[in-house]
Amino acid sequence: MNQFKTVALLGLLSGLLVAIGYGIGGSGGALIGLIIAAVTNLFSWYSSDKIALAAYRAQPLSPQQAPELYAMVERLCQRADLPMPRLFVVPSPGANAFATGRDPNHAAVAVTQGIVNLLPADELEAVIAHELSHIRNRDTLTQAVAATVAGGISYLAQMLQFGLMFGGMSRDRQGGNPIGMLLTIVLAPLAATVIQMAISRTREFEADAGAARLTGNPRALARALQRLEAGARQMPMQANPSFEPLLIINPFSGQFLSNLFATHPSTEARIQNLLKLEQDMGVGQLG
């Protein structure tokens, strides 16, 4: 179901891009929108890992520096039938982690120093399994596509705005209603952001489930999420908001608008899903 939701949301996002392109220049404008999406997606696909790691000042981590962490990741990769990703450490006391890379053969997992210090071994293993599930599901590519298409929509909306301001648009052609164009300028980027955040939340639920199946211990991830949310409220990571969807936890309040624009589902909802999965798996209560 989550896979279907993701495909549907990506389709809706792409349709929005084509529609606003059509609003600018008819069929030619729609083609421009598709070209913008293709170029930005290609760049994001190829460079997403370098950009994300640089944004968090992540440093390569060698097996000699973290032998236990390397052994943990290797063990999980064997279970998941994944190649070993590159490991990085983020020099931050905030507790968090993320995965990046265009495909499983070019993937990287980064953990903060704070999360290594905070979590016991079983909970850290669950977090790593969550990130590996993102890699196996190619969520890093999905997020890159969603982000760049949303960015293309914002760019085209700005083009439409300038066209109306400076008279560059043909107001008498079909589809050239000025009121409709003004609504497009305001609502299209907003809708794109809402859809992008919905995709991110869907992928988080799927990665949680993947981690639970990989470790056989859903409750370990549930406990980790509780600790990480409490820690993030006290000591949030400072970085470019564009990369917030990559992080395993990014707490928001329970208000509707906050949830609408949140990059992650609520921690309560994620924990409830994990506990339900624990029952479905027949795993005993772990306290």
Task: Give CA–CA dist 80/88, Å, rounded.
Answer: 20
Task: Give CA–CA dist 2/267, Å, rounded.
Answer: 17
Active-site annotation holds for 131: yes
Task: Give CA–CA dist 91/81, Å, rounded.
Answer: 30
In the structure encoding, which two tokens stand for residue 80, read together?
Answer: 């998941």
Catalytic one of 123, 125, 131, 278? 131
Among 96, 93, 75, 95, smallest CA distance to 84 is for 75
The angle at the Cα of 179, spanning 178 to 183, to the nearest 5 degrees, equals: 115
The pair phi, psi for residue 253, each rounded to 5°, is -70, 170
Active site residues: 131
